[in-house]
Amino acid sequence: MMFRIARSREGGSISHYDLYKVDIKKGMTVLDALFQIQDRMDPSLSFRYSCRGAVCGSCSILINKEPRLACRTQIADVRKSDMKLKHFAAISETPPGWNPDVEILVEPLPNMPILKDLVVDMTKFYNALESLKLWSDTEDGDTPRTQSPDDRKRIKRYVNCILCALCFGSCPVNAEKEEYIGPAALAKAWRFHEDSRTPDPDRYLKDASKPEGTPLCDLVMNCVKVCPKDVAPGGAIRKLKNP
Ligand code: SF4
Ligand code: FES
């Protein structure tokens, strides 16, 4: 199987694409293919990973124009996938020469600056999380705050977020509006609003509704389609808009 991989000489943008022939074995993931290329053909290829098990959120990339975790994407499944995403430039413009019938296209996650090859600078994504102060303020120092199983269920889906930024990279609003906080941070704001242990739940609603927050979301729902943990950030944003 041929892989067409975006490269960047100086960082900042894709400078060209390199083609590699990968020996495929049953069960191989796209991350395994990147290892094979780096080990046997091109040690200069840069990409991020850590857990290899869809837990750390570091291996987010664009595979055949769909934002996905490289470690969780089986090569055999790539061409069967159709997320039906709303398109914007980074996922609708294809590189010259790409033949989707015989090649897998691998590119960096959109909406963040490229540092090198498949590695993007995630500062914008992390700053957005920090700007909403997404933690629970404590009232009684270290006193444990317990939670009933039913209360835990209310936040279960949102707690599963692994901060992979696939939602951020799939969002047409993030593509257009530099200031947009993005789906993951807003979903977390709803998670803290719903958490029975939160002393001031309204602070998250107020912060999420600032001009760079929920008012910018067009409820496109690409974020729901790409999220590998079923967080459904778009659903949380809908609730934040109409609490
Ligand atoms: S909401 Fe989903 S897609 Fe977005 S950062 Fe969390 S796990 Fe990733
Ligand atoms: S390597 Fe950790 S999520 Fe893919």
Closest ligand by atom to 48 CA? 2
- Given pLDDT bands bounded at 50, 70 and 90, which one contains residue 33? very high
Among protein residues, the one whose CA lies closest to atom 3 of ligand 2: 54
Distance of alpha carbon 143 from alpha carbon 132, whole angstroms: 24
Note the pLDDT of residue 12.
84
Angle in degrees, CA 43, 114, 171, rounded to 5 = 125
- Given pLDDT bands bounded at 50, 70 and 90, which one contains residue 145? confident
Tell me the pLDDT tens digit for each residue of 178-208: 999 999 999 999 999 999 999 899 999 999 9
Nearest atom within ligand 2 for CA of residue 48: 1
Tell me the pLDDT tens digit for each residue of 216-240: 999 999 999 999 999 999 999 999 9
Instruction: Find tokens 């009933």 and name the residue.
Output: 148
Closest ligand by atom to 229 CA? 1
**Ligand 2 centroid to residue 59 C-alpha, Å:** 5
Q: What is the CATH number of domain 2-118?
A: 3.10.20.30
**Ligand 2 centroid to residue 92 C-alpha, Å:** 25
**Ligand 1 centroid to residue 184 C-alpha, Å:** 6
Pairing verdict, β 103-108 and 2-7: parallel
Handedness of CA 51, 224, 242, 177 (dihedral sign): positive
List the one residue out of 194, 179, 183 whose CA is nearest residue 235: 183
Ligand 1, from 134, 158, 166: best to mutate by most atoms within 8 Å of Cβ?
166
The residue extents of the domains of the chain are: 2-118, 123-241
Distance of alpha carbon 219 from alpha carbon 1, whole angstroms: 37
Mean pLDDT (whole number) for 158-170: 97
Note the pLDDT of residue 106.
98
Kindly report the average pLDDT of the chain as a whole number. Answer: 95
- Is ligand 1 within 6 A of the CB of residue 231? yes
Distance of alpha carbon 10 from alpha carbon 7, whole angstroms: 9
Counting runs of H as helices and runs of E as strands, what totals does the chain give?
Answer: 11, 7
pTM for this structure? 0.95
Residue 167: CB atoms within 10 A of its CB come to 30
Name all residues whose Cβ lies below 6 A of ligand 2. 49-52, 54-59, 69, 71
**Ligand 1 centroid to residue 18 C-alpha, Å:** 29
Coil vs helix vs strand at 214: helix
Note the pLDDT of residue 139.
67
List the one residue out of 144, 223, 228 whose CA is nearest residue 190: 223
Instruction: Find tokens 């975006």 and name the residue.
Output: 6
**Ligand 2 centroid to residue 215 C-alpha, Å:** 32
* Backbone angles phi and psi of 73, in degrees to 5: -105, 110
DSSP 141-160: TT------HHHHHHHHHHHT
Given a cut of 80, is residue 149 above it in pLDDT?
yes
Tell me the pLDDT tens digit for each residue of 54-89: 999 999 999 999 999 999 999 999 999 999 999 999
Amino acid (one-letter) located at 116: K
- Given pLDDT bands bounded at 50, 70 and 90, which one contains residue 144? confident
CATH 3.90.950.10 fits 123-241, yes or no: no
**Ligand 2 centroid to residue 69 C-alpha, Å:** 7
**Tokens (6 digits) for 208:** 């999420």
pLDDT above 90: percentage of residues in the chain: 91
Given a cut of 70, is residue 103 above it in pLDDT?
yes
Distance of alpha carbon 27 from alpha carbon 11, whole angstroms: 32
Amino acid (one-letter) located at 29: T
Bigger pLDDT: 200 vs 104 = 104
Given a cut of 70, is residue 124 above it in pLDDT?
yes
Given a cut of 80, is residue 6 above it in pLDDT?
yes
- Is ligand 1 within 6 A of the CB of residue 59? no
Mean pLDDT (whole number) for 89-117: 96
